[in-house]
Amino acid sequence: MHFWQTLREKRKVNGAPFFCVAPMADVTDPAFRRLIATYGKPASTRGDSSTRGGPDVMWTEFVSANGLMSAGREVLQRDLVYAEMERPIVAQLFSSDPEKMEQAARLCAELGFDGIDINMGCPDKTIEKQGAGAGMIKTPEVAVAIIAAAKRGAGTIPVSVKTRVGYNVADIDNWIALLLQQDIAALTVHARTRKELSKVPAHWGYIKQVVALRDKLAPQTVIIGNGDVTSLADGAAKAAASGCDGVMVGRALFGNPWFFDASRQITATLPKKSLLQKVPFIGKYIETKRSAAQSVSRPITVQERLQVMVEHTKLFEQLLGDVKSFSIMKKHYKAYCTGFAGAKELRMQLMDEAKNAADVEQITRQFLDNFLLQ
Ligand SMILES: Cc1cc2nc3c(=O)[nH]c(=O)nc-3n(C[C@H](O)[C@H](O)[C@H](O)COP(=O)(O)O)c2cc1C
Q: Which of 253, 281, 316 is the last residue of a domain?
A: 253
pLDDT exceeds cutoff 60 at 322: yes
Q: Is the CB of 122 under 6 A from ligand 1?
A: yes
Q: Say how many C-beta atoms besides its own lie within 10 A of residue 265's C-beta.
A: 16
Residue 14: what pLDDT?
Answer: 86
Residue pair 119/94 in contact (Cβ under 8 Å)? The answer is: yes
**Is residue 20 annotated as a catalytic residue, yes or no?**
no
Residue 102: what pLDDT?
Answer: 98
Query: Lowest-pLDDT range, 7-16, 105-114, 194-203?
Result: 7-16
| CA-closest residue to ligand 1 atom 13 | 24
On whether residue 105 sits in a domain, the answer given is yes
Residue 17: what pLDDT?
Answer: 95
Across the chain, mean pLDDT equals 90
Torsion of CA 222, 123, 313, 231, to 10 degrees: -50
Each residue's pLDDT tens digit, 259-286: 999 888 887 755 443 333 333 333 333 3
Q: Is the CB of 256 under 6 A from ligand 1?
A: no
Q: Bigger pLDDT: 250 or 272?
A: 250
Residue 49: what pLDDT?
Answer: 55
Q: Which of 202, 222, 253 is the last residue of a domain?
A: 253
Burial of 148 (0-12, 13-18, 19+ CB in 10 A): middle
Mean of pLDDT values over 358-364: 97
Model confidence at 372, pLDDT cuts 50, 70, 90, reads low
On whether both 286 and 243 belong to a single domain, the answer is no
Pick the closest to residue 188 from 157, 228, 160 (CA basis). 160
Where in 271-370 does DSSP place strands (E)? 298-300
User: How many domains is the chain built from?
Assistant: 2
Q: Is the CB of 67 under 6 A from ligand 1?
A: no
Q: Bigger pLDDT: 373 or 33?
A: 33
Distances (CA, A) of 332 to 251, 308, 345: 11, 11, 15
Predicted model pTM: 0.92
- Report how far residue 104's alpha carbon sits from residue 110's, in angstroms, rounded to the nearest whole number: 10
Residue 293: what pLDDT?
Answer: 43
Q: Is the CB of 250 under 6 A from ligand 1?
A: yes
On whether residue 258 sits in a domain, the answer given is no
Model confidence at 198, pLDDT cuts 50, 70, 90, reads very high
Q: Is the CB of 214 under 6 A from ligand 1?
A: no
Give the Å distance between the CA of 120 and the centre of ligand 1.
12
The preferred substitution site among 24, 119, 259 for testing ligand 1, maximizing ligand atoms within 8 Å of CB, is 24
Burial of 132 (0-12, 13-18, 19+ CB in 10 A): buried
Residue 48: what pLDDT?
Answer: 60
Burial of 199 (0-12, 13-18, 19+ CB in 10 A): exposed
Question: In terms of residue numbers, what domain contains 103?
Answer: 3-253
What Rg do the C-alpha atoms of the chain give, in angstroms? Answer: 21
On whether both 354 and 315 belong to a single domain, the answer is yes
What is the three-class DSSP state of 139?
Answer: coil
Ligand 1 nearest-atom number relative to CA 248: 26
Residue 298: what pLDDT?
Answer: 79
Q: What percent of the chain has pLDDT over 70?
A: 88
On whether residue 311 sits in a domain, the answer given is yes
